[in-house]
Chain A
Amino acid sequence: MSDGSAAFAVSTGEPIAKAVTARPPARRLPTEEAPWVRRLLIGLAVGFLGLFLLLPLVTVFMEAFRKGAGAFLAAFADPAAVDAVLLTLLVAAIAVPANLVFGVAAAWAIAKFDFRGKAFLVTLIDLPFSVSPVVAGLVYVLLYASHGLFGGLLQSAGIQIIFALPGLVMATIFVTFPFIARELIPLMEELGNADEEAALTLGASGFRMFWTVTLPNVKWALLYGVLLCNARAMGEFGAVSVVSGHIRGYTNTMPLHIEILYNEYQFVAAFAVASLLAALALVTLGIKSWLEHRYAGDLAAGHRH
């Protein structure tokens, strides 16, 4: 988004700038802010980002290495930490593909068809963004815990949902649901049905049409959505905390483990695990920027269609 507006400013700004040089250079352009306004705005933005984003991030890594690399590594020698990392990866490995399928299906339904209640469906998809994760977790507890709506049924079948992996996965799917659908819907709406209709009239099967026409059109948006979804899935705390039960080595994900370590006065270990989460986030950001840079053409082409 910021790239687009920058490009816009440059392309329209240059011809005017040339025209201006012909005139006496005394006065500022009417479209340009006074230098002090510009400096103030930039200063505010940089200061704010530094104070609220960069400084905490740096602190995480500083705290993690405060007692040296040995103490940092020792945090990951703890089997409970290893279990927490593996559990987090497992939860993400189930939740992200599930949301990939749901997200594509929902985006497809919304972008390609007209039906009653479509606006309602779009709003519904946004629900997890507006509902507090704690509420999301509690709702699952109300439904699936032993005294919940389906609790008795599940118990007699010997299925444990809350305080076990299924509950963690369900809570994670809930909070990460909009990420993929939200990326795809505007793009697919913009693309319209023309390509798909052409493919169908040329005799392609529905599946072939999806793989060779729709998917290539949306693949970058899809990947972008998957990245964001994954980052959130691994970092989710609130909803997961409610349904976890906090059993070490069993239902303790990385964010929950960080809280436990912190409460056990193991500050270095807590920040070591936190730094791993932060590193994951940075890698996600890196991949995202690289995708945008490397495939800017493709992304733009997708939008121009």
Chain B
Amino acid sequence: MRRSKLLGLFAAALIAGPLALAAPAQAVTLTNVSYDPTREFYEAYNKAFAAHWKAETGEDITIRASHGGSGKQARAVIDGLPADVVTLALESDINAIVERTGKIPADWRGKLPHNSAPYTSTIVFLVRKGNPKGIHDWGDLVKDGVEVITPNPKTSGGARWNYLAAWAWAAGQYGGDEAKIRDYITTLFRHVPVLDTGARGSTVTFAQRELGDVLLAWENEAFLALDEFGADNFDIVVPPQSILAEPPVAVVEANAKANGTERQARAYLEYLYSAEGQTLAARYHYRPSEPKLVDPELLKTIPELKLVSIDDPLFGGWAKAQPYHFGDGGVFDQIYKPAQ
């Protein structure tokens, strides 16, 4: 008796497994592989786009999202993660997919307005309430007793922007003397007690585990942390100068073609440039590329500061900056020694 029951359970499991496999959803499904701090924005945007697409074409669309450190996500797409679109933190992460798989055409940057960056952002400081360590500019980060939280530039797009923003400040400060800039960056990373793999991990480290005095954060991530953990715990410090981060988007053409979702994938990214897409971006504290489409009241929440672009001669664009600073044996590898 008992044995037959066991056998029955076993058989049921064997049958139920494949059955559940054979029941895919009928609606069109898009997979958006994105980086860490965009979770909330894309969650809202996916709903908006699904409604828009339904109204426009009558077609139901489901958008699946995957989030993680930008470099790690690019790696996953290279390894075969079936992304229809990628919305990453860095141009060089998308270029890595281009170079290693050819699934994205090499001229992807020209396919959408503003170099395929529908929103931009920058790097600001998140400090403990009242700014007890008096951190106002990049030079204050290397003061004695200041602990800086940033993710690992090897795996995180945000961390590369952090690094480059610091570099840009030091370049101005030391008149472009590279030895002094390197000294500053080396000292800066000596003030980093832990390197998380993604921006979100660092935010949790700083806000939840209460490690460090200052978090180098995406502007939107800093505002989000204020929303989530309460404005009475943290202050945002906007330095006089920072970096212009342009997180790009692209259709992974080969995957979209294989999935039969080219049309939807393209529309999904194009709609980011619509009034609704831009407004949502601003609401989630990104800087819209088309500010004229957004309510000026909403734009007022975005602080003004001097922004240095990656295309500045200082860096010479991602194609040059990526291998020089973050490649194997690049500047970061040379200067980084884990904090004792």
A residues adjacent to B (C-beta < 8 A): 86, 90, 93-94, 96-97, 100, 141, 145-148, 151, 155, 160, 162-165, 211, 215-216, 219, 223, 245-250, 260, 262-265
* Contact indicator per residue, chain B 36-60, by CB within 8 Å of chain A (1) or not (0): 1001100000000000000000000
Contact assessment for B3 and A146 in the assembled complex, using a CB-CB cutoff below 8 Å: no
A164→B21 CA distance, assembly (Å): 11
Chain A residues within an 8 Å CB radius of B36? 263
10 residue pairs, one from A and one from B, having the closest CB atoms: A146-B80, A145-B79, A265-B228, A245-B81, A163-B81, A94-B17, A93-B13, A247-B66, A246-B66, A263-B200
A146→B103 CA distance, assembly (Å): 12
Nearest-neighbor residue (CB-CB) of A93 within chain B: B13
Of residues B17, B33, B228, which shows the largest number of chain A Cβ atoms within 10 Å of its Cβ?
Answer: B17
> A145 with B80: in contact, given A216-B3, A246-B67, A265-B228 (CB under 8 Å)?
yes
A264→B229 CA distance, assembly (Å): 12
Contact assessment for B79 and A247 in the assembled complex, using a CB-CB cutoff below 8 Å: no
Contact assessment for B66 and A160 in the assembled complex, using a CB-CB cutoff below 8 Å: no
B residues adjacent to A (C-beta < 8 A): 3, 6, 10, 13-14, 16-17, 20-21, 31, 33, 36, 39-40, 62, 64-68, 76, 78-82, 100-101, 200-201, 204, 228-229
Contact assessment for B64 and A249 in the assembled complex, using a CB-CB cutoff below 8 Å: yes
A43→B76 CA distance, assembly (Å): 49
A265→B206 CA distance, assembly (Å): 13
A90, A145, A246, A250: the one within 8 Å of B17 (CB): A90
Contact assessment for A160 and B82 in the assembled complex, using a CB-CB cutoff below 8 Å: yes
A147, A165, A247: the one within 8 Å of B21 (CB): A165
Chain A residues within an 8 Å CB radius of B20? 86, 90
Please, could you name 27 A-B residue pairs with CB atoms under 8 Å apart, sorted by A?
A93-B16, A100-B10, A146-B78, A146-B80, A146-B101, A147-B79, A151-B80, A155-B80, A160-B80, A160-B82, A162-B80, A163-B79, A211-B3, A215-B3, A223-B6, A245-B33, A245-B66, A245-B81, A246-B67, A248-B64, A248-B66, A249-B62, A263-B36, A263-B39, A263-B204, A264-B39, A265-B229
CB distance from B22 to the nearest CB of A (A): 11
A146, A219, A248: the one within 8 Å of B65 (CB): A248
A141, A219, A265: the one within 8 Å of B3 (CB): A219
Chain B residues within an 8 Å CB radius of A265? 204, 228-229
Contact assessment for A141 and B65 in the assembled complex, using a CB-CB cutoff below 8 Å: no
A114→B38 CA distance, assembly (Å): 59
Chain A residues within an 8 Å CB radius of B6? 219, 223
Nearest-neighbor residue (CB-CB) of B227 within chain A: A265
Chain B residues within an 8 Å CB radius of A245? 33, 66, 76, 81
CB distance from A118 to the nearest CB of B (A): 28
A260→B66 CA distance, assembly (Å): 10
> A97 with B39: in contact, given A146-B80, A219-B3, A247-B64 (CB under 8 Å)?
no
Chain B, interface SS category: helix
Chain A residues within an 8 Å CB radius of B65? 247-248
Of residues A146, A247, A262, which shows the largest number of chain B Cβ atoms within 10 Å of its Cβ?
Answer: A247
> A162 with B64: in contact, given A90-B20, A96-B13, A262-B204 (CB under 8 Å)?
no
Nearest-neighbor residue (CB-CB) of B2 within chain A: A219
A211→B64 CA distance, assembly (Å): 46
CB distance from B72 to the nearest CB of A (A): 10
Chain B residues within an 8 Å CB radius of A93? 13, 16-17
Contact assessment for A146 and B79 in the assembled complex, using a CB-CB cutoff below 8 Å: yes
A216→B21 CA distance, assembly (Å): 33
Nearest-neighbor residue (CB-CB) of B13 within chain A: A93
B68, B80, B101, B200: the one within 8 Å of A246 (CB): B68
A93→B17 CA distance, assembly (Å): 6
CB distance from B177 to the nearest CB of A (A): 40
Chain A residues within an 8 Å CB radius of B81? 162-163, 245, 247
A219→B4 CA distance, assembly (Å): 12
CB distance from A117 to the nearest CB of B (A): 30
Q: 13 extra interchain contacts, Cβ-Cβ under 8 A, other than A90-B21, A97-B14, A163-B80? A: A145-B79, A146-B101, A147-B79, A155-B80, A160-B82, A162-B81, A163-B76, A163-B81, A219-B6, A245-B76, A260-B67, A264-B39, A265-B204
> A141 with B13: in contact, given A247-B31, A263-B204 (CB under 8 Å)?
no
Chain B residues within an 8 Å CB radius of A219? 3, 6
Nearest-neighbor residue (CB-CB) of A155 within chain B: B80
A216→B4 CA distance, assembly (Å): 12
Chain A residues within an 8 Å CB radius of B33? 245
CB distance from B67 to the nearest CB of A (A): 7
Chain B residues within an 8 Å CB radius of A97? 10, 13-14, 17
CB distance from B14 to the nearest CB of A (A): 6
CB distance from A213 to the nearest CB of B (A): 12
Chain A residues within an 8 Å CB radius of B62? 249
Nearest-neighbor residue (CB-CB) of A166 within chain B: B21
A160→B81 CA distance, assembly (Å): 9
Contact assessment for A263 and B80 in the assembled complex, using a CB-CB cutoff below 8 Å: no
Contact assessment for A141 and B79 in the assembled complex, using a CB-CB cutoff below 8 Å: yes
CB distance from A235 to the nearest CB of B (A): 18
A166→B65 CA distance, assembly (Å): 20
Nearest-neighbor residue (CB-CB) of A250 within chain B: B64
Contact assessment for A147 and B78 in the assembled complex, using a CB-CB cutoff below 8 Å: yes
Chain A residues within an 8 Å CB radius of B68? 246
CB distance from B74 to the nearest CB of A (A): 12
Contact assessment for A263 and B31 in the assembled complex, using a CB-CB cutoff below 8 Å: no
Chain A residues within an 8 Å CB radius of B66? 245-248
Chain B residues within an 8 Å CB radius of A264? 39-40, 200
CB distance from A249 to the nearest CB of B (A): 6
Nearest-neighbor residue (CB-CB) of A219 within chain B: B3
A246→B82 CA distance, assembly (Å): 11
Chain B residues within an 8 Å CB radius of A211? 3
Of residues A148, A211, A248, which shows the largest number of chain B Cβ atoms within 10 Å of its Cβ?
Answer: A248
